[in-house]
Amino acid sequence: MSVQTIDPSAFKPHPLYSSYTSIPISPTAVLVTVSGQIAQDPETGETPSELSAQVDLCLSRLLSCLEHAGAKKTDITRFMYYIVQRGVEEVEAKEGKGAATKLIGGKVGAWLEGHRPASCFLRVSGMSDDKFLCEFECQAIVATK
């Protein structure tokens, strides 16, 4: 078995990690592990300042990786989302307590289209750059035959 490190063609490769890895786990299945996808537009390099727009961009990047790997959302077995506490506080200062969780849960729930993989919602103190307010990663099993 050989691990493949892959970046969708629209993504600029990072020197330390790939967008996702793919490894055969049986003659008919591949494990796809998608790295944490940040809210940076792959074409422009821009990052929106609002948490809501960042969530949308992270989910879009995650979907690009899954599609590039031949996976569907329903192939996801593990889903992790990391939200910077500062982003939560900014939303809740404008919209009230619980608004950030509702915003994120609503967007993720709609994106997953009823699929309910094992998942974890983590609040963190920061990301690799202060401009990022969230990051999403997942694992999927893809049938090859």
Has residue 121 got a pLDDT over 70? yes
Has residue 16 got a pLDDT over 70? no
Has residue 4 got a pLDDT over 80? no
Domain ranges of the chain: 4-143
Give the distance, in angstroms, between the CA of residue 119 and the centroid of all CA atoms in the same chain. Answer: 12
Lookup: tokens for 39: 């809210």
Has residue 70 got a pLDDT over 90? yes
- Taking the C-alpha atoms of residue 41 and residue 133, their distance in angstroms, rounded to an integer, is 14
Q: Give Dmax (Cα) for the chain.
A: 52
Crossing angle (nearest 10°) for helices 85-95 and 51-68: 130
What is the per-residue pLDDT across 88-104, written as a single tens digit (0 to 9) for each?
A: 999 999 999 999 999 99
Decide if 135 contacts 82 (C-beta within 8 A): yes
Overall average pLDDT of the 48-61 stretch:
97
- Taking the C-alpha atoms of residue 77 and residue 107, their distance in angstroms, rounded to an integer, is 18
Q: Domain spanning 4-143 has what CATH number?
A: 3.30.1330.40
> Which residues are CB-contacts of 11 (< 8 A; sequence separation ≥ 6)?
19, 42, 61, 64
